[in-house]
Copies of this chain bind each other. A is one copy, B any other.
């Protein structure tokens, strides 16, 4: 048993890892949710793929275990982006009860370490442990347990900051050859706002590192759009111009 001379110090927090996988599907920014099986009810509820960490597991190991168990995926590069530890995370008794049933542990407070990936994957295996995982539009999230909504909102902000800091990231997400409107739509979806078509076209032509190719879209009903490509070398040359050393 544990004793303490400082009642303010926490004795029994638990530590979990949650994974926020973001992707674009059907022209919407989506997050991957897994089913939460509620014993005793036939309701289907959803949550971020996550789990308490195991005794001998480092945080990154837990994140990749969860990714793999929930989606069958292994190679998505997960990035730890923030830990969430408000004592109010477990304010909802129903969430606590569910976790106590699932884990067979008495749950007081949980600190969760959140991981993030922007990924292109579409097809997912159905998990034995988590049930079917599904891409759910950020704009139409169901009721989620704990602070999962807040974690998702923070992940979306984080992705936008990455893109502001390092605009080249968006090209990892696009095919090698892309149209101006594909690029614009990707931005519109990630930033959740409309971008003026003419201004965007002008801006893109002035960028220098988005280069027009000779190829055009094939078999489109409307006038074929031209394909562009990302010039990584020129991008880094420009980036270097901004850097002091």
> Which A37-73 residues have a C-beta within 8 angstroms of B?
52-59
A245 CA / B244 CA spacing, docked (Å): 24
A7–B8 CA distance with the chains assembled, in angstroms: 29
Residue A243 lies at the interface, judged by CB distance under 8 Å to chain B:
yes
Q: Chain B: which residue is nearest A57 at the CB level?
A: B87
Residue from B86, B210, B245 within 8 A of A203 (CB atoms): B245
- A238 interfacial contact with B, CB 8 Å: yes
Shortest CB-to-CB span from A86 to chain B, Å, is 5
Q: How many residues of A contact B (CB 8 A)?
A: 58
Q: Please encode chain A, from 177 to 196, with 1 for each CB lying within 8 Å of some chain B CB and 0 for all others.
A: 00000010001000100010
Minimal Cβ-Cβ distance residue in B for A51: B9
Secondary structure class of chain A's binding surface, majority of residues: mixed
A220 on the B face (CB < 8 A)? no
A53 B164 Cβ-Cβ under 8 A: no
Asked if A3 contacts B245 (CB within 8 A), the reply is no
Q: Is A119 an interface residue (CB 8 A)?
A: no
Cβ-closest chain B residue relative to A186: B244
Please give, as numbers and ranges, the residues of chain B lying within 8 Å of A80 by CB-CB distance.
Answer: 82-83
Judge if A128 is at the interface, Cβ distance under 8 Å: no
A residues whose Cβ falls under 8 Å from a Cβ of B: 2-15, 52-59, 80, 82-87, 103-106, 109, 111, 113, 164-167, 170, 183, 187, 191, 195, 200, 203-204, 206-207, 210, 238-239, 241-245
